[in-house]
Structure 1
Amino acid sequence: MQLLKKSRLVGTQEAVAGALWVLAGTDIDDQRNMATMIGVTHLSEFLDSPSEHLQLLGLEIFSILASGPKDFGRALAGMGVPQLLVRLLHSNNERIVLASVRTMRHICLGISWIPNTENQEMLLNSQGLNFLVALMSHSHSDLLQAEAACALASAVLGNRGNAELLYGHGDFSYSFILRLLYSQFREVRLLAGVAIATFAFNNMAQQKQIAEAGGVHWHNFQPFFLSSDPLERLNAAFQCVVLSSIIPNQKPASIRALGIKTIVDIMEEPHSKPVLALAADCVGRLAHTRAGIPSAIISINSVSVLCDLMTSSSEQIQGSAAIALGFLSFNHNGNRQLLKCCRESPLLAKILLHYTRGRRLSHNFLEGWKHLTKLGLPPIRVGGSIYPDSKAGSSPGLATSSSRGTALHIPSLTPSQFKVTNPSNMHMVRM
C-alpha cells in the first residue's frame, strides 16, 4: 500500500494496484474495504492516469465504493470525480466509456435511491448529460445505450433542475429506451427496464410520457419473473411495482402485490450477499414511493425480515436493510414494529442509527427510542433471540447471528446519534 501511494511510476502503480485488487478477492465487503484503504485521492489519480489499465481499475473500484451503504458522495465530488468520468467518455476504448457511464450511475444514486445532488449537478456542469444523451441516441452498442439511459435516469432522479434540462433536450426520447426492451441481449432488456423504472419513479408525468411513447407491457417483464436467477426476478419485481399503473391489460394492484411478495420472499430465502443486499435495497426504494406500498410491504412481515438481515456479517446487507427500515419507520405500523424489534434486541438500534446517520429516519422513531432508553430496556431474550445472552453489566461485544452462523459486524456509535434532529430535515425523497 505504501509503495502504491509513494510511487509515481505508471508501471509500478499498475502492478501494485492490480496485486492489491487480486488480494481483495470477489467478496463485495472485502473489495470495499480495500477500496477504502486505497482512498478516494489515489483512486481519482487512477482516472487521470494515461494508463488504460489504471483507468479501468479505478472505474471498477469507484463503482463498488459508491454503491455501498457508506456515503462517499461528498468525497467523490470534492475530488472532482464526476468531471473525470465525463473526460473519460472521450476515450477510444469502448470498455472505458462503458465503465465510466456505469460509474456515473452509481455515484448519482445511493442505497434506496437516495440522490447525491452534488454529483448529479457536477455531471450537468461538466456537460455529462449532453454526452450521455448522445450515447443513448447514437451509439451502435445496445449495452452502451442501455447503460447511458440508466445513468441519465440516475442523474435526474430527485433533481428538478437536471430533469427539466434533460426533458427539454432535443435529442432525448423514450423511444430509444423502449426499443431496447426488445434487444436480442437479455442484459440489455433488463437494463432498459431499470432505466424506465428510474425515470418513472415517483413521477406520474414521466409515466404518462413513457406510455405515450409506446409504453411497457407485461411480456417485457414476465421472462425475468420466471428466471432462475434471483437478481433478475428482483429487478423485474421492482420494475413492475413502479410501472404497474402503465402496464396495459393488467390490474395495477395485482402487479404491485406480485412484485412486493417476490421481493420479500427472496429476502427470506438463503441467498448470496448481492441478492440479499439488492432485495433490501428494493424495499428501501419502494418504501418512499406511492402511498399504500409501504403499508403493503410492512403487512407481510418485512420489518422483522429486515431486522434479521441487520444481523448479517456483511456491511452491504446490514446497511441496505438499515436504510430500508429507516424509510419504513415513517409508516405508523412500521415504526411500531421496528421499535418493538429494537426493544427486544437493543443492538439492532445501534446498527440502525449507525447506517441511517445523515439519511432518513422518522422523528417518531427517534423520539420513541429516546423515551425507551430513559425508561430502561428489558434484558436481551435468550430463548428464540437472534442474539446470544450477555452477562449482566458486560458489553455484548461481537455477537453471532444464530440464523446465519456468522460474526456480526457492530458499528461504532456516537452519543450524538441518539439526539432527535429537526423533523423538517427528515423528509422522504420526492421528485
Structure 2
Amino acid sequence: MAAIAALSQNERTLRYVIDLPISSTEYNIWKPLFKLFLSVKDDESTICGRILQSLTRRESDNSQISSYWSSMLENGLLSTLIQIFSLSKNDDALTSAFLIFLNLLNEVPQIKNDLDTIKNCFSSMLKHTRSTNNQILTLLGRVLSCLSTDKLLIDSMVEQGLIETLMILIDKQRSSQIIYPYFDCLANVIGKSYEYQRKFIYSKNFLLLIVRSYLQDYDLNLSLSVIRFIRQLVKNNEELQNILAHYGVCEHLLGALSASSKELQQVSIEAIQALSHKNQKVQQILLREHALEQLLNLLERTNMSTLQVAIVCTLWTLCENNPLQKRDVATKIGVRKLISFYTIKSDEHLLVVTDAINELAKCAASINMNIQEEINHAQGIPYLIRLLKSDNEMLVLSVLKNLQLITCAPGFIANRKNQEIIVKNDGIKLLVALMMHAKCDIIQVESAQSLACIALSNNQCSTLIESTLDFSYSHLVDLMHSNDVNVQLKASNALATFVYNNSRVQLFLKNHYQFSFDYFQKFLQNNNESIRCITAFQVVVFCGLINEQKQSVNTAVGCGILMDILRTSQIDDAKSAAAECVARLAHMKSGVPQAIIAVNVIDYLCNLFSSSNDTTIGNASVALGFLSHIPEGRRKLLNRSQTSSIRYFKVLSNNIERSRAAPLSDYEKEQSSTNIMNFYLPNIRQKV
C-alpha cells in the first residue's frame, strides 16, 4: 500500500497510511519504501527518493523537524543511504540520497556516532567526487564539510582516502560554488592532526594551485573557505609557512584587507597571524609589503570588536621579535584605545593588549609624555586589577609587570596617585594573596615586586601591605632559596625594593636576617649583563645585611659593576639596565649618589645619548636629573653640556625638567637645600 502510494507520487495518501495507528509488527511501512529506493529500476528509485525527500523536509525554517526521522532510522534508513552511495548509478536517486543524508546530519546530528560502525561508509561517498553531475558534487561537498566537524570521524575519513581524493577533485573541478565546501572540509581535517597537516608539504603543486588560482577567484564563499584552509594549514608549521610565503600568499592575504566583506577581512587577518607566528622570515616579507600600515589603518576605521581583536593580535605577532617595533605599534594605537579593548568580551586579546601597554609604560616620563598618568586617566587600573583573578598565568604575569611599571617609573620614581588607586580598588589584597598562595613561584615573586613598587616612597601603603592577610617578608627570604635561580633573583629584587630608602623595613630585616655574599656572587658572575646590573643594585641596597664584608666594600662592589657595564658593554639593553639602576642609586640615602659622581658616572651616562634606543636615553636622562640635585653633579653636567653636541641634550633637558618638577620624597626634602636652583642648559645652547 505504501509502495503504491509512493509510486503514484501521492504524498498525501502516503502520509495518511504512515500515520495510521498500525503497529510495525502488523505492517512495516518503511521496509517496502526503502526497498523501492534501492531498486535497480531508475524510475522507481528516483520516484521513491523524491517522496522520501518530501517526507523529511521541513515545511519552513522555523517549523519542527520531521516526525518521521525516528521511525525511519529504526527501520534502516542509514544503511539504505550508504547502500545507495555504494551501488547506485542513478544520479537522481543519488541526489535525493545526498539531500536526505544532509538533512539527517543537520537535524539528527547524533547519528554521526553510528557512521563509524558501517564498513567503507566514507569511501562509498568519496567515489562520487568523480561524478560529472554538478548537483551531486555540490551536495557531497556540503555533506563532507558537515561530517568533518565531528573530530571523532576524521581519522576514519582520512583512512578511506579523503585528503588525496579531495586534492584530485580541487585540481580538476574549478567551479567556485562546487568547490568551497571541500576546502571547509580540509580545513577541519588538518586542524585535527599535525600529521594530516604535513601531508600537504609534499603536495607543492597543489599549494601552488591554491595561491595562483583559487586565491585569485573573487567569489566570496570560495575566498573565505580557501583562506580558512590556509589559516589551518600553516598553523604552527614553519615549513608550510615558508612554502606558501614563497609562492606569494602574503600579497593575496594583504589584498583581502581592502575587501568590502568584514568577514573576509577578519579571516585574512587571522591567516596572516597564523602565517607569521614565530616565523621571522615571513614576518619580514609581510613588513616589506607594509602589513603594519595596512592593519593600523584598518584598526583606525573599524568599530567591529571581533575585527579589532584579530588586528591587535596580528600586529603583535608581526612585531614579536622587535621591541622597538612593538613600542612603535603600541604608540600608534594609543593608550586610550588599548585600554578600551579591555571592554571587548573576549579573552584572546587580553595578553596582547596588556603587553602593548607594558611596552609603553617602560618609557621614562618626559614633559610631553607620561604613560603612567595616561593609563590612570583612561581608567585602566581597575581593569588590570580585575585581570589578576584570571586563570591564565601568562596574563597574570603581564598584569603584574604592568602594575610595577605604572607605580614605579624607571629610576624608582614612585607614582603616588596610581599607588592609591590600586589600594582603593582592593588591589593589595589580591596581590598579597597571589604572593603568599599562588601555585606558580614566579607569580609569587612578581606579585611581591608589584607590592614593593606600591610601597615605594609611601609609608601608608607599606604599613597597609604588612597588615594585609598573611603577608610576610620571611616568605620572600624563603623564595630566595628556591631551586629556580630566576625565582631567587626576583625574590631578592622584590625584597631590595621593599628595603630601598625605607629604614624601618631595613632595620626589621637586619634584626632577623643576614645574607651571604655568595648568594649574590653567582649572579654577579653571570654572562647576562642585565642580571649582573640587577644584582649589583641589590648588593648596594643590602650592603648592611651582607655580613662577610663592610658596607662600604659592598657598595663599592655594586657600584663598580654598574660603572663597568656602562663603560664597556656593547649590548644596548645591558647599558639601559645599568642606567636605570644608576638612576635608582642617584637618589638613595647614605652618600651613594656622591660616590658614583666621583667615579665619572656623569660622562658614562652622557655617552648613552648616542644610543638609538629611546629607553636607554630616557633612563640616562632620569639618572642625570637626580644627580643634578647634587652641586658636584650639576657642575660636571654643565661642563659636559658645553663640550658635547647639543643634539643629545635637547632630549636631556626635556627629561630632566620632567623629573625635577616631580614632588620630592620626604627624605629628599630633608637632604636638599631649601632653595633648589633649577637646572637649565645654557641660553646660548638653547638658541642653537
Q: TM > 0.5 between the two?
A: yes
- Report the more deviating stretch, 342-351 or 132-141: 342-351
Give the aligned partner of residue 53 of structure 1.
348
Q: 1:77 is matched by which residue type in structure 2?
A: N
Decide whether the 8 Å contact of 1:237 with 1:260 is kept in 2.
Answer: yes
Tell me whether 1:86 sits opposite 2:385 in the alignment: yes
Query: Do 1:284 and 1:325's aligned partners in 2 also have CA atoms closer than 8 Å?
Result: yes
Q: Gaps spanning 5+ residues in structure 1: where?
A: 379-392, 396-431
Task: Quote the residue 2:263 is aligned against.
Answer: none
Query: Does the alignment pair 1:227 with 2:542?
Result: no
Task: Determine whether 1:294 maps to 2:593.
Answer: yes
Aligned to 2:466: 167
Q: Does 1:28 align with 2:320?
A: no
Q: Provide the residue aligned with 1:195 in structure 2.
A: 494
Which structure has the highest helix share of the two?
2
Q: Which moved more, 1:309-318 or 1:347-356?
A: 347-356
C-alpha contact (below 8 Å) 2:597/2:633 kept by paired residues: yes
| Letter aligned with residue 56 of structure 1 | L
3-state SS, counterpart of residue 313 of structure 1: coil
C-alpha separation in 2, matches of 1:52 and 1:356: 40
Cα RMSD after superposing both structures:
2.1
Change (3 A) 1:129 1:271: farther
2:404 is aligned to: 105
Asked which structure has the greater CA Rg, the reply is 2
Q: Letter of the aligned partner of 1:186 in structure 2? A: V
8 Å CA contact 1:273–1:316 kept in 2: the answer is: no
Give 1:12 shift.
1.8
Residue 436 of structure 2 corresponds to which residue in structure 1? 137
* Off by >4 Å, runs of 4+ in structure 1: 361-365
Q: Structure 2: how far apart are the matches of 1:273 and 1:15?
A: 33
**2: distance between equivalents of 1:215 and 1:141?**
26
Q: Assess, with a 3 A threshold, how the Cα gap between structure 1 residues 169 and 212 changes in structure 2: closer, same or farther.
A: farther
For 1:138-287, what aligned pairs fall within 5 Å after superposition? 138-287=437-586
- Further displaced range: 115-124 or 10-19: 10-19
Mapped contact 1:98–1:144 kept (Cα < 8 A): yes
Pairing 1:342-353 to 2, within 5 Å after superposition: 342-345=641-644, 346-353=646-653
Q: Which residue of 2 aligns with 1:354?
A: 654
- Alignment-derived partner of residue 12 in structure 2: none
> How far apart are 1:206 and its partner, in Å?
0.3
Would you say the 8 A contact 2:406–2:415 is kept in 1? yes
Structure 2 partner of 1:38: 333
TM-score (norm 2): 0.52
Matches within 5 A, 1:14-25: 14-24=309-319
Does the 8 Å contact 1:59/1:100 carry over to 2? yes
**3-state SS of the aligned residue for 2:482?**
coil
Alpha-carbon distance, 1:56 to partner = 0.3
Identical-pair percentage:
32
The corresponding residue for 1:389 is none
Equivalent-residue separation in structure 1 for 2:306 and 2:568 (angstroms): 45
Q: What corresponds to 1:123 in structure 2? A: 422
Instruction: Give 1:190 shift.
Output: 0.9
Could you tell me how far 1:179 is from its partner in structure 2? 0.8
Q: What amino acid is the match of 1:335?
A: R
The question of whether the paired residues in 2 share the 8 Å contact of 1:47 and 1:59 is answered with: no
For 1:62 and 1:253, locate their aligned partners in 2 and report how far apart those are by CA, in whole Å.
40
Query: CA offset at residue 95 of structure 1?
Result: 2.0
Letter in 2 for 1:119: N
Aligned to 1:390: none
State the SS of the aligned residue for 1:228: coil
- Tell me if structure 1 keeps the 8 A contact 2:433–2:469: no
Q: CA deviation at 1:184?
A: 1.1
CA contact (8 A) 2:400 2:450 kept: yes
The total of aligned residue pairs comes to: 376
Amino acid across the alignment from 1:338: L
Taking the TM superposition and a 5 Å limit, the aligned residue runs for 1:390-401 are none
Q: How does 1:308-387 map to 2 (within 5 A)?
A: 308-345=607-644, 346-360=646-660, 366=678, 369=680, 372-373=682-683, 376=684
Instruction: Give deviations 1:254-310, integer Å, cap 9, x for gaps.
Output: 010010010011011233332111110110100100132111111111111111102
TM-score by length of 1: 0.82
